[in-house]
Amino acid sequence: MRSVVACIAVALCLASVALAQNRIDYALEFNGEWNNQTGTITSKALSTTIKTLIDATDGFTSTTSTLIGVAAITTASITEYKTNGDGTATYRQTGNITFFSNDHMLFFDGYGTAEPLNTDGLFNGAAVLRILNGAGAFSGASGFLTNNLVAQVDPDQKQILSYTNLQVAQVWIPGNLTMTQ
């Protein structure tokens, strides 16, 4: 019985250490372009307010407002790109997000999929990216972010002409890792 109580006590202590992390949620709208020469996407987001209201008539309404301020910059490489027979594509996305300056960064890696919305080269897609680490204020970060994107693609040149991405993340930053009561 004492060993069971001891195991439960250890589990509770470890849980309290794990909970001693700071959670940061964010949603930003990035706009950018593809560099066909380097195989990278560079996009920029300004501070954003996103408001969603649950509505009995329409289900929900949503507004997005961009605020004046400093930018976040995403630089990502697209690799392992594969076009499927049904017009969809899968890819791997790796890169980083710089917030304000190179002192504050998140590093990510993950996979996504895209599908054509119409025959004019408009695609939508999504990627789930694991936060590998961070720098500056995000040192030791973990978590996940999602990219929900729309891209205008030139099918003849096989390149992205424009790119808009709603990025939503839950970032965990190590906090005070002392035992909590």
Cα separation of 119 and 69, whole Å? Answer: 37
Torsion sign across C-alpha atoms 120, 126, 132, 135: positive
Q: Integer distance in angstroms from the first to the last C-alpha of the chain?
A: 23
> 151-177: per-residue pLDDT in tens?
887 766 666 778 888 999 999 999 854
pLDDT at position 135, please?
94
As to burial, measured by CB atoms within 10 angstroms (0-12 exposed, 13-18 middle, 19+ buried), residue 41 is buried
Q: Domain count of the chain?
A: 1
Chain centroid to Cα 176, Å, comes to: 25
According to the per-residue pLDDT averaged within each range, which of 55-64, 113-122, 133-142 is highest?
133-142
Comparing 17 with 146, the larger pLDDT belongs to 146
Residue 180 forms part of a structural domain: no
Residue 108 forms part of a structural domain: yes
Cα separation of 151 and 31, whole Å? Answer: 10
- Residue 90 contacts residue 82 (beta carbons within 8 Å): yes
DSSP code per residue over 53-64: EEETTTEEEEEE
Cα separation of 106 and 73, whole Å? Answer: 11
Residue 179 forms part of a structural domain: no
Mean pLDDT, to the nearest integer, of 81-110? 90
Beta strand 122-135 with 21-35 is unpaired
pTM: 0.77
pLDDT at position 40, please?
83
- Using the 8-state DSSP alphabet, how is residue 13 labeled? H
> 13-66: per-residue pLDDT in tens?
444 444 568 999 999 989 888 776 777 888 898 887 888 889 888 888 888 887
Residue 42 forms part of a structural domain: yes
Q: Provide the token pair at 47.
A: 């501070």
Residue 181 forms part of a structural domain: no
Report the mean per-residue pLDDT for the chain: 81
Cα separation of 154 and 148, whole Å? Answer: 20
Domain that holds residue 106: 2-174
- Residue 144 contacts residue 170 (beta carbons within 8 Å): yes
